[in-house]
A and B are shown apart, each in its own frame.
Chain A
């Protein structure tokens, strides 16, 4: 299989605090992981591409100082939402791209972030 986990599945935090979301590929190595944001009844919005051992590449309009991404190993990437505000409330989903012989991305279950 190709299983991707995310933790936490949901989190509520106060405005001004930071929140870390973990994305792990459980049974395969992922050279590249992607972070998406999804608003209700809308499609996925790519935030950034994360490659193991190098800096993330952010999409236009995404603040890299606000959404810190670290891809420390071939199985773990983290997204930290710094100084969160209510407008950061959203559904965040990661995906992992498997190595060789496959171009598929496998998605995590998502993290629901609510900032009060």
Chain B
């Protein structure tokens, strides 16, 4: 059974204080790992897809990295507007397109 564990569950940062969110996964074969951002009362917003170990992607203050067992979402010099819940999901290889989601990390950035 595919599993995704995100840590920490909640993270409070001061503006400008860089940190990382972790997504550990077990899957029989990885087709892709996804990061989403979700604001309260809204649907998740797609951020990144990572396909293979060693891959990195960046968008503004966010950088996602991938190893064979986990992914990190690095947040550099965060701003209050980065406050949100960040969701990680893995899609197994094979015929199904159903991803498995983690429970998310709730990030609050204080000014």
Contacts and interface: CB of A to CB of B under 8 A. Distances in A.
Which interface class (under 10, 10 to 19, 20 to 34, 35 or more) fits A? 20 to 34
Contacts of B104: 43
Interface stretch (A13-21, A60-68, A71-79, A103-111): A103-111
Contacts, number: 51
Given A97-B97, A109-B43, A112-B41, A103 B102 contact: no
Interface in A1-30: 2, 4, 6
A103 B96 CA distance: 11
Contact of B45 (A41, A49, A102, A107): A107
A44 B101 contact: yes
B34 A104 contact: yes
A42 B103 contact: yes
Interface string B48-67: 01000000000000000000
10 contacts: A43-B87, A43-B102, A44-B87, A44-B101, A49-B98, A105-B34, A105-B99, A107-B45, A109-B42, A112-B41
Given A46-B98, A105-B97, A110-B42, 10 more contacts: A6-B43, A49-B98, A93-B43, A93-B44, A103-B31, A103-B32, A104-B32, A109-B42, A109-B43, A110-B43
Interface of A: 2, 4, 6, 32, 34, 41-44, 46, 49, 91, 93, 95, 97, 102-110, 112
